[in-house]
Structure 1
Amino acid sequence: MPALNETLGRRVRYRAKKRNPRHRCMPRGHWVHVSSRVVRGRYAFVPPEDGGLFVLLMWGIIGRAQIRYGVDVAIAVVASNHLHCLLRSDRPGAISAFMQYVKAGFARLTHKTYETSGPMWDGPFRASTILDVKAEEFWFAYI
């Protein structure tokens, strides 16, 4: 519906945006399963013949993020084209900051190692909060 903008004396059209709001509330103290895929499912985390340095650097990124953001990491699995983690934190926003740091660090490391560029991750990470013991047992066994 057009509305009159009195300061400019002309009509301005306002359009309501349809949004799909993301769930940004993660309960504190619960384990959260997070996963993220590489764009187009390509095999980005295949270690080159460097004696394991690539893998050590990846674990170093996870360790630095853990210390920096105060996140407990129960399990972290880095497959050739995706990442799974079971995380827990009492600080609001810490898991999101942790994942941002890890994903950016992995992208920089992979681009530098393989001399590539462009997008690395297929969108934002997916997170599901583990609220009961059965779900906890399932995710610990799955990962």
Structure 2
Amino acid sequence: MPRKPRLFVPGVPQHVVQRGNNRQQTFFDESDFQLYLECLRLAGEEFGVSVHAYVLMTNHVHLLVTPDSVEALSRTMQSVGRQYVLRINRKYRRSGTLWEGRFRAGLVGSERYLLTCYRYIELNPVRAHMVVAPGEYPWSSYASNALGDFDDLIVPHDRYLSLAPTPERRQERYRELFSAAIPGGDLNLLRRATEQSAVAGTEDFQCRLAQKVGRDVSPRPPGRPVRK
């Protein structure tokens, strides 16, 4: 079945996955992680993309973002890809591509699935058995969202801000979310939506968005397994 065109709706959060070409390594030392984050911050500010959560793994990236316009996310990721690859190739005296042909992105309904997506992203190093707890991994937004560490890349989403009226209580409530496992059905829906450029959301949210964009936005039923 042909791949759906990517769906971009201004003001609706998106879960973005960018993978290394052939699953190859994309970050080689600490300065590379820092460079990617700086490229992302500058591009997001230029093109109008707010970053709510992220994790940089050794060969792929997960982001939770909200674009201000239809073109904002594509322009941001194109800019990050160009700037990061140019400087990495120069640094390591390499050539050619570093990332897969295009990033994957799926929309996330804020009423239920947004905070699940936050957790899904920041728990990636735990699922990969790289760390025992998300706070042990340095290249994610967990320290900002859960502990209050300053991160000039992060723009809190309204759903996150609604957890509590004060930053301290908000961070406490956020940490409490990590005490329970993410339901398997929610994980699978987020993954399918991202792979298929569809929507992870309630049926009501999917129907309202489908009417707005004039196309089916619900993920196809499970078939062959999607990648983690």
From the two aligned structures, give the one with the greater helix fraction.
Answer: 2
Asked if 1:92 is matched to 2:102, the reply is: no
TM-score, normalised relative to structure 1: 0.75
Relative contact order, CA 8 A, sep 6+: which one is greater? 1
- Residue identity matched to 2:21: V
From the two aligned structures, give the one with the greater strand fraction.
Answer: 1
SS of equivalent to 1:133: coil
SS of equivalent to 1:80: coil
Asked if 1:64 is matched to 2:46, the reply is: no
Q: Distance in 2 between matches of 1:40 and 1:126?
A: 15
SS of equivalent to 1:129: strand
Identity within the alignment, %:
27
Q: Distance in 2 between matches of 1:90 and 1:69?
A: 8
SS of equivalent to 1:30: coil
- Residue identity matched to 2:45: I
SS of equivalent to 1:84: strand
Deviation at 1:24, TM superposition (A): 3.6
Q: Distance in 2 between matches of 1:24 and 1:57?
A: 27
Q: Distance in 2 between matches of 1:83 and 1:132?
A: 21
Per the alignment, residue 11 of structure 1 pairs with none
Q: How is 1:61-140 mapped onto 2 (pairs within 5 angstroms)? A: 61-140=39-118
Deviation at 1:23, TM superposition (A): 1.9
The counterpart of 2:12, out of the listed 30, 45, 48, is 30
Per the alignment, residue 10 of structure 1 pairs with none
Per the alignment, residue 28 of structure 2 pairs with 46
- Residue identity matched to 1:30: V
TM-score, normalised relative to structure 2: 0.49
Q: Is there any run of 5+ residues in structure 1 with no aligned partner, and where?
A: 1-19
Q: Distance in 2 between matches of 1:140 and 1:55?
A: 20
Deviation at 1:56, TM superposition (A): 2.7
> Taking structure 1 as reference, are residues 132 and 80 closer, same or farther at Cα in structure 2, changes over 3 Å only?
same
- Residue identity matched to 1:69: F
Q: Tell me how many residue pairs correspond in the alignment.
A: 121
SS of equivalent to 2:43: helix
CA-to-aligned-CA distance 1:55-84 (integer Å, 9 cap, x gap): 332221111101110111111222110111
Per the alignment, residue 140 of structure 2 pairs with none
Deviation at 1:132, TM superposition (A): 4.2
